[in-house]
Amino acid sequence: MRPRIGVLALQGDFAEHIQMLDMIGIDSIEVRKVQQLSEIDGLIIPGGESTTIVKLLHMFDFVDDLKSHVESGMALWGTCAGMIVIARELADPYPTPLNLIDIGVARNYFGRQVDSFEAELKIKGIEGDPMRAVFIRAPIVQDTGDDIETLATVPATGDHPEQAVAVKSGRVLATSFHPELTQDTRLHSLFVKLAEDARIDENRTNAKRRLTEETASKV
């Protein structure tokens, strides 16, 4: 059964993710209302401006329900600003992240000189050639909890040690870079697999039914 994927469409480059999913034959929905979380098996939070995204998530009353859906097994993928939004904590004073994956993150890590750059990354779980990864004012993962699997790192350069830029915990994925700005759909396919697992997970179906009833009663 095909999983249903949503892309958070409050701010940022959600259209590019939708296009990538299109390329692999997956229809997705633009998520703008919290009730839509009940219709999907996986949510992508795109790149953009993390402070704005967090503000809008609060404004539109997403925060508690998003947490409950992720706890009950929905798949989640934060790219760039999305990674910042879902982190446990930040090295920066703002925004306050949502704590949906056990990682500490530093925003704009690579500083002004290398605002944007590209690198070839070998990513665990992705077969074949390394992926071309586009970093734009990118964050990095500074520390990881026990159940975090590091999927990719960028090698040490000059002042910077080797740093994690793709991590996974259960069905939650976080990447510092922008796979949606390339033609390489392999990470999107990996995420679709996580959402497929969520779709067929019986425990999640029960938890979701409860959640949907609770959300509906709020309206």
Nearer to ligand GLN, 63 or 91 (CB): 91
Query: Which positions from 101 to 120 touch ligand GLN by CB under 6 A, shown as an x/- string?
Result: ------xx------------
- Residue 89 annotated as catalytic: no
Q: Using CB under 6 A, which of 49, 89, 143, 196 touches ligand GLN? A: 49
- Residue 188 annotated as catalytic: no
136 binding ligand GLN? (CB under 6 A): yes
Q: Are residues 132 and 118 in contact, defined by beta-carbon separation less than 8 angstroms?
A: yes
Nearer to ligand GLN, 34 or 84 (CB): 84
Nearer to ligand GLN, 38 or 52 (CB): 52
Q: Which residues, including other chains, have CB under 8 Å from residue 105's CB and lie 6 or more apart?
A: 83, 84, 87, 89, 90, 91, 97, 139, 140, 141, 142
d(CA 21, CA 27): 7
Which residue in 16, 17, 69, 180 is the catalytic one? 180
- Residue 180 annotated as catalytic: yes
137 binding ligand GLN? (CB under 6 A): yes
Token representation of residue 99:
């704590």
Q: Is the peptide bond before 95 cis (omega within 30 degrees of 0)?
A: yes
Q: Which residues, including other chains, have CB under 8 Å from residue 142's CB and lie 6 or more apart?
A: 91, 103, 104, 105, 106, 163
Up-side HSE of residue 17: CA atoms within 13 Å toward CB?
31
Nearer to ligand GLN, 137 or 193 (CB): 137
Which residues 66-85 are close enough to bind ligand GLN by CB under 6 A?
A: 80-81, 84
Residues found near ligand GLN in the complex (CB under 6 A): 47-50, 80-81, 84, 107-108, 136-137
Catalytic residues: 80, 178, 180
